[in-house]
């Protein structure tokens, strides 16, 4: 059977679409988390570590409420702040000092809201994750434009 050019083109389009698979939900969550972390590092680049106050050191995007504790707060920007690698990685978040710095930065009411929702479960949808990803990319673009 001989295929026409149009048939060959249609077949090629189908093959290309098949190859371009959407990421799994687990992969998409990781992609979104990396992008949100990138934004937090850019946003807090000139601020001191939320926990110890050190300046001029490499920073991580540290969670006040751990990712594993609350699905709801995983991408919540008030829950993510620039934190030196020592506090985040080696002092397990240095949470007592983190809380003190967080109250100064966002206020006691918002900190108490985070604490109240620390065990809330959230099942993210693909649409919600894609929206967070899109919004975060826009925030990063705005920061990069203002440099």
Q: What are phi and psi of 70, to 5 degrees?
A: -145, 110
Could you list the residue range(s) of the whole structural domain that residue 107 is in? 23-145
Q: Confirm whether 108 is domain-assigned.
A: yes
CA distances from 78 to 46, 65, 70, 110, 124 (A): 17, 10, 14, 8, 18
Q: Per the domain annotation, does 9 fall within a domain?
A: no
- Asked, for residue 44, whether it belongs to a domain, the answer is yes
Residue 42 lies in a domain: yes
> What pTM, to 2 d.p., does this model score?
0.84
Q: How many domains does the chain have?
A: 1
pLDDT per residue as tens, the chain (147 positions): 566 766 665 676 566 566 777 899 999 999 999 999 999 999 999 999 999 999 999 999 999 999 888 899 999 999 999 999 999 999 999 999 999 999 999 999 999 999 999 999 999 999 999 999 999 999 999 999 987
């Amino acid at each position: 059977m001989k295929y026409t050019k149009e048939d060959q083109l249609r077949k090629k389009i189908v093959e290309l679409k098949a190859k371009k698979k959407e990421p799994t939900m687990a992969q998409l969550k990781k992609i979104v988390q990396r992008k949100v972390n990138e934004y937090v590092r850019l946003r807090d680049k000139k601020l001191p570590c939320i926990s110890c106050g050190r300046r001029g050191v490499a920073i991580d995007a540290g969670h006040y409420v751990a990712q594993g504790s609350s699905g709801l707060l995983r991408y919540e920007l008030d829950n993510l702040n620039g934190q030196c690698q020592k506090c985040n990685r080696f002092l397990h978040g240095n949470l007592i000092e983190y809380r003190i710095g967080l109250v100064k930065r966002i206020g006691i009411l918002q900190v108490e809201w985070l604490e109240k929702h620390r065990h809330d479960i959230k099942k993210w949808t693909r649409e919600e994750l894609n929206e967070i990803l899109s919004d975060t990319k826009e925030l990063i673009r705005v920061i990069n434009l203002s440099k």
